[in-house]
Amino acid sequence: MCGGAVRLSAMAALPPLPPWNAGWALFLDVDGTLLEIEEHPDDVRARPRLKVLVEHALHALGGALALVSGRSIASLDRLFAPLVLPAAGLHGLERRGADGRVHYPSGFAERLGAARCRLMRFVQSEKGLLLEDKGAALALHFRAAPELAEAARRAMESARADLGDDFHVQQGKMVLELKLGGEDKGTAVAAFMLEAPFAGRLPVFVGDDVTDEDGFRTVNRMGGISVRVGLPQGQTATAARHSAASVEAVLDWLESCLEDGDAKAV
């Protein structure tokens, strides 16, 4: 079932986090995977422990580690400062390789202007909604007002229709994101795997959300390892083939792996 969704009755049905291997190319989602999700994205802080673990893993893997997030690269840099890591932001819309070059499609961000104004009016008309302006994408959060989920979907779909078929609405945990189509976390992983130092390694993708399923499917097709973090109660479909119970479990896994001096490359 390469690339397909795995049906399971409970998260425990998936194998746990695999033993560390220095021959991996490691791709890590951020919010919900390395950091607990907060009500407002700006409330999230990266603890010193996390930065140390990520930096050590980066060196242990010969630089073959990248953050793959819905956040912008600029937001990731602020979170993980002073580290400057290979990263894909805005669900693959922007990407910075290990060589520091940033790949970013141009000529479309200004098209979001009308949608931004329209969605801001919607947000201001209801309590508990938050519109996050990422520059090249717009994220509508309804975590504080879950009863408005359907209204939020209608508003986002209406804004997308006005922009045209090259834009789409990306669904996440209590958030809907309006962005240019054609790029996702899977395409970002595939692009990294064509470049040094990722090329020739076994890809491993760790994520927690429906937006990470594209990454899972991509590494599955490459014969790699996919890990879903904290599968919600009642959710029975994921392309991931391994599981981690929580953010803390992922951090403990990284810590124990890096303490294991016997890790060998494939």
Q: What angle do CA 36, 77, 169 make, to 5 degrees?
A: 65
CA contacts within 13 A on the Cβ side of 75: 23
- Report the sign of the C-alpha dihedral through residues 35, 137, 92, 104, in that order: negative
Active site residue 165: no
> How far is Cα 132 from Cα 254, in angstroms, rounded to an integer?
31
**Strands (DSSP E) along the chain, which ranges?**
6-7, 24-28, 65-68, 87-89, 94-96, 102-103, 130-133, 138-141, 167-172, 175-180, 202-207, 225-229, 237-238, 242-244
Return the axis-axis angle of helices 149-163 and 112-124, rounded to nearest 10°: 160
> How far is Cα 96 from Cα 23, in angstroms, rounded to an integer?
21
Return the axis-axis angle of helices 247-259 and 48-60, rounded to nearest 10°: 50
In order of 47, 78, 216, 224, 238, the CA distances from 119 in angstroms are: 33, 26, 31, 39, 31
Collapse the DSSP code of 121 into the 3-class scheme (helix H, G, I; strand E, B; otherwise coil) and give the result: helix
* Residues paired with residue 181 on neighbouring β-strands, in sequence order: none
Which positions are catalytic?
29
